[in-house]
């Protein structure tokens, strides 16, 4: 008898007994696990030898996903969208999700693509474990041209969850892409452009490369962030055991449920504090600060304008403050009913948002590409999943890129008329601290 992890035994039997030629081109199998079965999805993912690996936890914590293995890879969202459309008549297609990342300037009409690399890394996983509320389910994808035996072999080699060791690395050196003086020069130039009415807002960013004394495991870092950075989407795409992009972002790019679209304006920042009274004072200041309110409303207006022609109506909520571990943000929810459930169109309209790029978008983007001394790539793009009935992407902020013993952290700040470069330096320091302090407290 084959050795199969009991968690996957039912799935194994389903695959054994299935007749692939009688199915559609894409087959999706789902097994709901008994209520008493419970284990850490991150710990399960840590035990697997298949890559890429994707981890996702919704900021509301009602959903968590661990996926690994790759049946198809898509380097443009158009290709992933087309794949789903081709298979829309296949059984269980509504349960199929394609996971991954979109680069920050994925599909801007008429752009001249100067960067090397692809617009996206989106993949159809071989297997996913999903937790919705407290219920676990296992999802397996198969393609007709694939070998059934290879899927059976795959299921036999999936491991049980492993304990994740705590972080045990130290920072040896820190290298910012911009020194504080260079940052001030960069923002002074941006403010000059704003005064000349070349653009209304721009969002400069800084990359910080941390050299570590030992290689860092992405899942260890992801768990450490998830455990302390609450009210965030937690996401990780591990390309290999030593290369990954991950983050803990508070911001939704958009969620689509059939024709309903949900997005938001997250812009305007103040410090946070462990002291409740002080945190409340910072939040009150943020709600009443004209510069930050203006920055948020600029993003709201831009989103509403960009959605014109794509939605039948738009509703905007009153502002509230979302409190994170190191910073607090102004947020307004925006939703409407789409005319067509087209995720390519949604992404084209919404990414990059004014909160990570600027206004007008094309001019701000050109300014960033001319003056920023690093390639953003996945930073300020989006992470999440694409599906036929449902799609959700979070903005790739509060993020890091891992290569062996180097971790590069990214942080940006919205610059409008009246911004102070030194205050914005403090803001990006606070934003980066959400991840950087995970390492420093181990020293």
Rounded to the nearest 5°, which phi and psi values hold at 270? -135, 165
| Per-residue pLDDT tens digits of the chain, which is 443 residues long | 356 688 899 999 998 888 766 555 788 999 999 988 889 999 999 999 999 999 999 999 999 999 999 999 999 999 999 999 999 988 889 999 999 999 998 654 444 344 445 699 999 999 999 999 989 999 999 987 567 889 999 999 999 999 999 999 999 999 999 999 999 999 999 999 999 999 999 999 999 999 999 999 999 999 999 999 999 999 999 999 999 999 999 999 999 999 999 999 998 899 999 999 999 999 999 999 998 998 899 889 999 999 999 999 999 999 999 999 889 999 999 999 999 999 999 999 999 988 899 999 999 999 999 999 999 999 999 999 999 999 999 999 999 999 999 999 999 998 989 899 999 999 999 889 888 999 975 43
Helix (H) / strand (E) element for 59: namely: none
Binding site for Mg(2+): residue ranges? 295, 427
Q: Would you report the helix, strand and coil content of the chain in percent, each value rounded to 5?
A: 30, 35, 35
Strands (E), 193-259: 201-202, 205-212, 233-240, 243-249, 252-257
Binding site: residue ranges? 295, 427
Partner residues linked to 65 by β-bridges? 56, 130
As annotated, the active-site residues are 201, 251
Rounded to the nearest 5°, which phi and psi values hold at 402? -110, 130
What pTM was computed for the model?
0.92
Q: Which of 139, 382, 428, 424 is nearest to 291 (CA)?
A: 424
| Angle of the 290-307 helix axis to the 343-350 helix axis, nearest 10 | 150
Q: Which of 287, 266, 294 is nearest to 356 (CA)?
A: 266
For the chain, the domains span: 6-156, 171-220+250-440
3-state secondary structure of 201: strand
DSSP assignment of 291-344, as one string?
Answer: HHHHHHHHHHHHHHHHHBTTEEEEEEPPPEEEE-SSEEEEEEEEEEEESS--HH
Give the sign of the dihedral formed by CA 178, CA 182, CA 184, CA 186. Answer: negative
Q: Which of 270, 242, 292, 278 is nearest to 431 (CA)?
A: 270
The reply to whether CATH 3.60.120.10 applies to domain 171-220+250-440 is yes
User: Is residue 145 exposed (0-12), middle (13-18) or buried (19+ Cβ within 10 Å)?
Assistant: exposed
Q: How far apart are CA 436 and CA 136, in angstroms?
A: 32
């Amino acid at each position: 008898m084959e050795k199969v992890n009991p968690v996957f035994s039912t799935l194994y039997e389903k695959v054994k007994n299935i007749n692939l030629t009688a199915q559609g081109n894409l087959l999706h199998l789902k097994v709901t696990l008994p209520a008493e079965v419970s284990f850490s999805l991150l710990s399960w993912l840590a035990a697997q030898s298949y890559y890429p690996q994707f981890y996702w936890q919704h900021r509301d914590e009602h959903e968590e996903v661990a996926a690994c293995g790759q049946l198809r890879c898509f380097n443009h969202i158009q290709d992933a969208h087309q794949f789903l459309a081709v298979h829309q008549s296949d059984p269980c297609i509504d349960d199929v999700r394609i996971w991954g990342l979109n680069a920050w300037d994925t599909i801007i009409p008429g752009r001249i693509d100067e960067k090397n690399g692809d617009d996206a890394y989106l993949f159809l996983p071989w297997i996913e474990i999903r937790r919705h509320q407290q219920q676990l389910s296992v999802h397996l994808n198969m393609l007709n041209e694939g070998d059934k035996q290879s899927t059976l072999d795959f299921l036999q080699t999936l491991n049980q969850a492993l304990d994740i060791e705590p972080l045990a690395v130290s920072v040896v050196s820190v290298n910012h892409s911009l020194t504080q003086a260079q940052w001030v020069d960069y923002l002074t130039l941006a403010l000059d452009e704003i005064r000349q009415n070349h653009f209304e807002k721009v969002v400069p960013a800084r990359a910080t490369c941390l050299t570590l004394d030992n290689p860092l495991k992405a899942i260890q870092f992801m768990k450490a962030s998830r455990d302390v950075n609450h009210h965030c989407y937690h996401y990780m795409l591990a390309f290999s055991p030593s290369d990954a992009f991950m983050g803990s972002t508070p911001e939704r790019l958009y969620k689509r449920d059939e024709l309903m679209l949900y997005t938001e304006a997250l812009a305007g920042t103040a410090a946070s504090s462990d002291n409740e009274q002080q945190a409340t004072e910072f939040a009150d200041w943020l709600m009443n600060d004209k510069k930050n309110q203006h920055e948020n409303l600029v993003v709201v207006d831009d989103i509403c304008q960009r959605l014109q022609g794509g939605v039948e109506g738009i509703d905007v909520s009153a502002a509230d403050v979302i409190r994170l571990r190191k910073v607090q943000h102004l947020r307004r929810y925006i939703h409407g009913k789409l005319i067509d459930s087209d995720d390519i169109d949604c992404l084209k309209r919404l990414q990059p948002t004014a909160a990570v790029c600027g206004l007008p978008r094309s001019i701000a983007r050109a300014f960033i590409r001319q003056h920023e001394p690093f390639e953003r790539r996945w930073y300020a793009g989006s992470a999440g999943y694409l599906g036929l009935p449902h799609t959700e992407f979070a903005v790739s902020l509060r993020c890091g890129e891992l290569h062996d013993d180097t971790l590069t952290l990214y942080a940006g700040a919205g610059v409008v008329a009246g911004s102070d470069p030194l205050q914005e330096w403090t803001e990006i320091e606070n934003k980066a601290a959400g991840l950087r302090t995970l390492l420093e407290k181990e020293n």
